[in-house]
């Protein structure tokens, strides 16, 4: 029996007619296979009409997966106590026999993995509705476009998808997907408890079948595990980009305001909770994207698009003073989903929001009160550290007008940043493309954060802040980066930032949170040759005069020379140790690392040793010459 014929007997007439309008047989096949495996009581096809989108939102409330807050359009959702972040251990690549992925990547033999995850998905939607969603990654009608679809039994996940991505039912119905790769996601929250959260998190599995461009996710609701087009489909896009000669990246995109109304686009790769969204949301600039970007060489120019059209942002630390644009949207009528916050009297609260939190309320563990502890006696915070908000980008007043431009935007620069409390200065520029992407991207060393279900505070190499998602050999990924830059007529400038450098004596952060406003302004000026630089051993450093001027222009503050010296004194010994750790990692974990990596690090080591012989372990920026 043909899939469409089989589905006709399983679907209501209206929903079947919606699906039958789509001529792509791969769509019918995937919906039929998903329905046969998961056995839903109903199938709902979202056409992206206002009525269908409203129905999903209403069902999320009716089922209790979301609840309403006081501000119109605002809702909240809870994930289970152990379903609060990306789960590295449960996320695996399905690798066919005879194929090879780097041993550093979590993987399982394909047939074994399919048997396991399909066993968990079997009959998982009994008594529930399977929602079928059609979307596209990147703008429509573009060289960047990738059509995709998700089948899920979670109204919350479906609601989130509609806020985060460009809807594309019309594109599917018009037959425009026939000759394109199709990304597919099958998700089930599994059994739900009385709070409508996944009841069997120990059986959580997130498996990526890269041979078929399919993601399977079960027994989880956390959006990073269940909204398949975030980091899960990124893994598929990386393989597609590898074959076709472009880059699929974990990067924000922002339009930085320069002199005379100029807008310069910068991309930025940061691990989660390391400043990516706050950099994209600097007041006065525009936000084009906060998480995922595709980069292509178009006529010798590096152009980029936001894969998504919404934000799944971290709430911890968002406050009215430092994040006025986000704060405004979180306190104004409009469609926003809060997850894993504290709720009291219809209001959401999160950690470090700059106001006193209630002493009791409801949070991700149920009824909460100050002093409540978990099973091991540890205090339970009022809200989870990885509490999030989901909102459409176009709801923000600073949304960039080029969001849906099929040609993307020209990139002036790329930023790499992580949590490095010890070594790199707050901002620096690579000498050239290869030095920048190797010294700041490949050597990105960061402290793990609460966005991952794992121990916090461990240092690790996270190349390009994308290591968890790379589905090709890591060395090949670095080679692709080098070649991509070499083929451009003018490669973007490459910068390294570090918002988390600490004073070695006090342990306090050297940077103020708003200092990044100045660092980004300096980078914008460097792209256009309007700011000077000193040649430091790890990269080009800002001059004092430029920063003094920019601190006054951007923040209205004086910038004492002693503060400049504190920011940009090179910690020679710590940087030498960093190189040792990076080299050891690559020799151990990435045997196919390109020779350019070792060449860049060796030359950097020589420069540092020379500086150490002249100045000792701390080299003031005053000793470096202007270029």
Q: Which residues in 47-145 belong to E strands, given as ranges? A: 67-68, 74-77, 91-95, 107-109, 129-137
Quickly tell me which residue has 């006696």 as its tokens.
377
Between CA 181 and CA 165 the distance in angstroms is 18
Between CA 221 and CA 225 the distance in angstroms is 7
Cβ partners under 8 Å of residue 626, min gap 6: 532, 533, 534, 535, 543
Q: What is the dihedral of CA 358, 359, 362, 364, to 10 degrees?
A: 100
Cβ partners under 8 Å of residue 127, min gap 6: 41
Read off the DSSP letter of residue 247. E
Token pair in block for residue 488: 């451009």
Q: Where are the alpha helices (DSSP H) in 417-511?
A: 433-436, 474-486
Token pair in block for residue 553: 């222009």
Q: Which pairs count as long-range contacts for 557-565, CB under 8 Å and 24+ apart, including other chains?
A: 564/621, 565/620, 565/621, 565/622
Catalytic residue among 136, 151, 274, 302: 274
Using H for helix, E for strand and C for coil, what is the string for 58-81?
Answer: HHHHHCCCCEECCCCCEEEECCCC
Determine the Cα angle at 83 with ends 470 and 343, to 5°. 125
Token pair in block for residue 332: 């104004």
Beta bridge partners of 501: none
Between CA 514 and CA 279 the distance in angstroms is 10
Known active-site residue 274: yes
- The helix/strand/coil state of 408 is coil
Reported as half-sphere exposure (CB side, CA atoms, 13 A), residue 378 has a value of 3
Q: Where are the alpha helices (DSSP H) in 437-560?
A: 474-486, 515-527, 544-550
Q: What share of the chain is helix, strand, coil (3-state, %, to 5)?
A: 35, 25, 40
Instruction: Confirm if 303 and 295 have CB atoms less than 8 A apart.
Output: yes
417: how many CB neighbours lie within 10 A of its CB? 28
DSSP-assigned states of every residue in 333-368: SS-EEEES-EEETTEEE-TTSSSPPPSEEEETTEEE
Query: Among all residues, which ones are annotated catalytic?
Result: 274
């Amino acid at each position: 029996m043909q899939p469409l014929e089989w589905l006709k007997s399983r679907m209501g007439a209206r929903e079947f007619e919606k699906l039958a309008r789509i001529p792509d047989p791969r769509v019918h096949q995937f919906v039929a296979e998903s329905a046969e495996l998961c056995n839903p009581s109903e199938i709902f096809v979202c056409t992206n009409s206002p009525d269908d989108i409203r129905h999903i939102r209403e069902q999320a409330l009716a089922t209790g997966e979301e609840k309403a807050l006081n501000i119109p359009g605002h809702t909240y959702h809870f994930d289970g106590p152990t379903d609060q972040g990306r789960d590295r251990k449960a996320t695996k690549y399905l690798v066919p026999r005879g194929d090879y992925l780097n041993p550093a990547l979590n993987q399982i033999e394909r047939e074994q993995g399919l048997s396991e995850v399909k066993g968990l998905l079997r009959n998982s939607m009994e008594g529930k509705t399977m929602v079928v969603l059609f979307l596209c990654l990147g703008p429509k009608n573009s060289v960047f476009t990738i059509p995709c679809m998700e089948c899920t039994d979670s109204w919350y996940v479906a609601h989130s998808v509609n806020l985060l991505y460009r809807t594309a039912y019309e594109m599917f119905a018009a037959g425009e997907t026939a000759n394109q790769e199709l990304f597919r996601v099958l998700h089930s929250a599994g059994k739900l408890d009385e709070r409508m959260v996944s009841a069997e998190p120990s059986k959580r599995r997130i498996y990526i079948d890269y041979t078929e461009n399919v993601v399977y996710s079960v027994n989880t609701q956390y959006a990073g595990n269940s909204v398949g087009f975030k980091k899960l489909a990124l893994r598929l896009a990386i393989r597609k980009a590898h074959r076709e000669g472009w880059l699929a990246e974990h990067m924000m995109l922002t339009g930085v305001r320069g002199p005379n109304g100029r807008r310069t686009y910068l991309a930025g790769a940061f691990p989660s909770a390391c400043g990516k969204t706050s950099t994209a949301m600097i007041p006065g600039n525009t936000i084009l994207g906060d998480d995922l970007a595709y980069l292509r060489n178009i006529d010798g120019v590096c152009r980029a698009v936001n894969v998504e059209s919404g934000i799944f942002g971290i709430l911890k630390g968002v406050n009215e003073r430092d994040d006025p644009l986000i704060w405004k949207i979180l306190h104004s009528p409009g469609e926003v989903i809060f997850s894993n916050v504290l709720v009291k009297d219809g209001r959401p609260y999160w950690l470090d929001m700059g106001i006193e939190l209630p002493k009791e309320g409801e949070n991700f563990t149920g009824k909460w009160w100050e002093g409540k502890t978990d099973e091991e006696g540890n205090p339970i915070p009022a809200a989870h550290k990885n509490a999030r908000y989901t909102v459409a980008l176009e709801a923000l007043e600073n949304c960039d007008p080029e969001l849906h431009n099929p040609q993307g935007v020209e990139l002036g620069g790329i930023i790499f940043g992580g949590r490095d409390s010890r070594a790199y200065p707050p901002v620096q520029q690579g000498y050239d493309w290869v030095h920048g992407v190797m010294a700041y991207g490949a050597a990105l060393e960061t402290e793990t954060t609460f966005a991952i279900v794992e121990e916090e505070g461990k240092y690790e190499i996270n190349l390009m802040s994308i290591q968890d998602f790379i589905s090709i050999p890591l060395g090949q990924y670095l080679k692709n980066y080098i070649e991509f830059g070499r083929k451009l007529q003018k490669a973007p400038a490459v910068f390294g930032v570090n918002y988390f450098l600490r004073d070695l004596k006090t342990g306090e952060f050297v940077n103020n949170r708003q200092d990044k406003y100045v660092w980004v302004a300096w980078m914008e000026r460097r792209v256009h040759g309007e700011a000077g630089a000193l040649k430091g051993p790890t990269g080009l450093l800002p001059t004092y005069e430029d920063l003094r001027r920019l601190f006054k222009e951007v923040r209205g503050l004086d910038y004492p020379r002693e503060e400049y010296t504190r920011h940009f004194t090179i910690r020679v010994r710590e940087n030498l140790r960093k190189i040792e750790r990076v080299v050891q990692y690559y020799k151990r974990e990435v045997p196919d690392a390109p020779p350019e990596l070792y060449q860049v690090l060796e030359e950097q080591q020589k420069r540092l040793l020379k500086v150490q012989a002249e100045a000792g372990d701390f080299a003031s920026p005053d000793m470096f010459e202007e270029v």
